[in-house]
Amino acid sequence: MYVLFFIISFGASIIGAICGIGGGVIIKPVLDASGTLPPGTINFLSGCTVLAMTCYSVLRNRLSGSTSIDADHTLPLAIGATVGGLAGKQLFDVVEGLFATPDMAGAVQAVALGIITLGTLVYNLNKPKIKTLTVDGTLPCLVIGFALGVMSSFLGIGGGPINLVVLFYFFSMATKLAAQNSLFIILCSQAASTITSLPTVDLGSINPLLIAGMIACGILGGICGRVINKRIDEQHVDKLFSGLMIVIVLICVYNFARYTVL
């Protein structure tokens, strides 16, 4: 089981670093589909992996002088996402408490993630036809960031494709620029979400080797993904992103069926 978790974390982190989606949007539904751990535990493990990968990617870009963070927009977005991440974690705890078993909370997450991912796919396929905006002002950015943080933390995905669509549409960013800014937003929101989840997670039931291994795979995936991102053009990144969204939608459908029917 550990080998499977490590492979998924490594592969997801590579794709996450290339596309700017963090990797949680892959790790969360795939590990849910394995049926080996409760949704809350998978949220935590996914969060640790995403946090490690984004921390490496952002710091590496910063140290190398290749960072392209749009401070005017991305900093308030990140602040809003951090606060929203805290709210999203509380929302998940409330939803989980509404049901007798954690499986039903997982089913709610699967439906919500599937709908959001499908919408993201539709947007990405029609992106050239859609007129984008250029939102300015600290308050609008804070509000948008807060909404991003709530959704990403509740779904346990760190931000992922939601961030990219927001950066594409509201701020007219190109694909690779959006990827860098998305990773910075994910880093801030995921850090807050993971830290606040520590008191609610039964760490004694999780092997430290599993946590350490997934974090290591997240960093290694970030290293490989950063190298690949520099060598491919934006069209290939868009195609990889769209293909990934199709796979995630199918996994979400399977997870919903597994939680509610199978």
What are 99-141's pLDDT values in tens digits? 988 889 999 999 999 999 999 999 999 999 999 999 999 999 9
Other C-beta atoms closer than 10 Å to the C-beta of 112 total 15
Q: What is the pTM of this model?
A: 0.87
Q: How far apart are CA 17 and CA 102, in angstroms?
A: 30
How much is the mean pLDDT over the chain?
A: 90
The full set of domain ranges for the chain reads 2-260
Is 165 exposed, middle or buried (CB count within 10 Å of its CB: 0-12, 13-18, 19+)?
buried
Any alpha helices (H) in the chain, and if so which ranges?
A: 2-19, 24-34, 39-64, 71-97, 102-125, 138-155, 160-171, 175-197, 208-231, 234-260
Kindly state the percentage of the chain with pLDDT values over 90. 61
Per-residue confidence in pLDDT tens, the chain, 262 aa: 889 999 999 999 999 999 988 888 899 999 999 888 888 899 899 999 999 999 998 998 888 887 788 889 999 999 999 999 889 888 988 998 999 888 899 999 999 999 999 999 999 999 999 999 999 999 999 999 999 989 888 887 866 788 999 999 999 998 889 988 999 999 988 888 888 888 888 888 899 999 999 999 999 999 999 899 889 998 999 999 999 999 999 999 999 999 998 6
Looking at residue 262, its pLDDT comes to 60
- Give the relative orientation of helices 39-64 and 102-125 as an angle to the nearest 10 degrees: 40
